A and B are shown apart, each in its own frame.
Chain A
Amino acid sequence: MKILVCISSVPDTTSKISFTDGDTKLNKAGVQYIIGPYDDYALARAVELKEQYGASITVLNVGEADAEPQIRKALAIGADDAIRVDTEPTDSYFVAEQIATVAKEGNYDLVLMGRETSDYNSGVVHGIVGEILGIPSFSPVMQLDIENGVAKMTREIEGGKEKLEAPLPLVLGCQEPIAEWKIPNMRGIMTARTKPLKVIPASGEALTSTDKYSLPPAKGACQMIPADEAEKLIELLHKEAKVL
């Protein structure tokens, strides 16, 4: 089985977000970058599938050179080789197009990624990739097993979940509890240094560009209500905030 795992490189979820260059760029100074948390679940399940059934794992990042520590970490966790498409990943269709090009070339049985990146949260790249490749896509997948070339999955739906089956090849967006995040061991870290990482140019053009960034307006002071007069809250929500 050949698995392609797509990872994003994103600011740690606890990062404080700020901007530079007249609010036209994200301020990367002092920000810790990590493998996208959802992508990390996809990678972890891929490594488990490799241990269970035997598989080769290629990790793919559409991004600039500063994502390479995250790519090396994915290799240390258990991917066999890596590809980086050298471009700024600003636009969903554009990123999906790069992934689809690599996926078509490598003829993978499974293309896994997170349900969404934790920076842009659009959650559409897997679907676009599936459509371009002409194969089914599902998200968010919480459980995945492979039996005789058929994927057995549990997917979250609004207000619940569903179990479904579909033949490979597939593109899947993953989320917990599909697998536990894996921490690289020393041997993995050592071997990751010499695993192949191919850098290739992007094709096509982005359909959108980002302009000005901004932060949400600061919240006003919190109005405190004494606990023994808690019922006053309901009156305030009704008469002042007008949400009841």
Chain B
Amino acid sequence: MAILVFTEIADGAIKKSSLEAIYYGAQVAEKSGTSVTALVIGKADSAELVIAGNYGATKVLHANDAKLELPNSMAYAKVLAEAAKTTGAKVIITAKSSLADAVTARAAGSLKAAVVGNVVELPDLSNGFKVKRSIFTGKAFVDVNIQNDITILAVKKNVVNPVETNTSATVESFTPALDDNLFTAKVTETIKATGTVSLPEADLVVSGGRGMKGPEHWQPLLDLAEALGAATACSKPVSDLDWRPHHEHVGQTGVKVSPNLYIACGISGAIQHLAGVNSSKVIVVINKDADAPFFKAADYGIVGDVFDVLPKLTKAVKDLK
């Protein structure tokens, strides 16, 4: 069962989450005695693509048609489905992301593939094909048995800890025919935060709630995030009040994150917020209310005023570096 990894790029290089997906694929390949091909779509530097080899891919298929420069889920799905047919892949792996969800969904539609999202472990291949996924935004897990020829697994961040080797992958260009009807949608405007750490990709996240008292008081939180090289996030009330942009909102109805470290500042920890962050490795809660429910889900806690605590943390981080 050859394995294909849908590999995303950012600024011409493979995204960290996709390198994890390639490594996950390599682990599955090792179990099942097969090999991993990484599919990269869009503009990328060949020197960056060979790095896929360090994470276990033997081959990189690079679809570099000029039409594919901007993400387009329909065209990308067509390329992915064609690559699956070309490589004979029975398992397609991706890191969970908004683009990957859209692309793999369409590919599943054309390949009639079983899709398992939010995968949290390597599959059990000892008796059929079984894999564990998170459900209810991390409040529970379920083992899924797959009874289908082709399967797509969308893997959560931090499921594997890649160990890099020094092996390069061969890069081949891949050029499936692309019909014009894949390009009927027109993007008229893109509004994107630049120069900040991507929240779904981030290893470290600093997040603020209503305890931050207003958008004009965000600076101490931004300072800590900058010192750490962390992404910034917020709770749902904060995004509803327009204190912070909607794409920063983490929780049950927002972005789900699983970073190594999540620092919650002035967030009480409603069950809907916990659902979006409960797969973080380490959770720190700073709140002046010692009874805030978030402390029950935290690894480290500070009961205190965020405006006193945050500058101390920022200074300590700078001292550490």
Contact = CB atoms under 8 A, between A and B. Distances in A.
B111 to A, nearest CB: 9
A214 B253 contact: no
Contacts of A215: 139-141
A166 B103 CA distance: 18
B114 interface: yes
A88 interface: no
Interface residues of A, number: 78
Interface stretch (B49-57, B161-169, B212-220, B290-298): B290-298
A122 B115 contact: yes
Interface residues of B, number: 94
A230 B98 contact: no
B246 interface: yes
B317 interface: yes
A243 interface: yes
A243 B204 contact: yes
A53 interface: no
A236 interface: yes
8 contacts: A14-B271, A127-B73, A127-B109, A130-B74, A163-B188, A163-B189, A211-B145, A214-B142
Nearest to B117: A122
B180 interface: no
A104 interface: no
Contact of B143 (A38, A212, A231): A212
Interface stretch (A56-64, A69-77, A183-191, A202-210): A202-210
A24 to B, nearest CB: 9
Contact of B140 (A17, A38, A223, A236): A17
A161 interface: yes
B47 interface: no
Contact of A243 (B116, B282, B315): B282
Interface stretch (B25-33, B83-91, B305-313): B305-313
Contacts of B115: 92-93, 122, 124, 128
A156 B247 contact: yes
B184 A136 contact: yes
A161 B147 CA distance: 37
B221 interface: no
Contacts of A93: 108-109, 112-115
A130 B282 CA distance: 39
A136 B192 CA distance: 23
A216 B141 contact: yes
Given A128-B109, A142-B246, A167 B253 contact: no
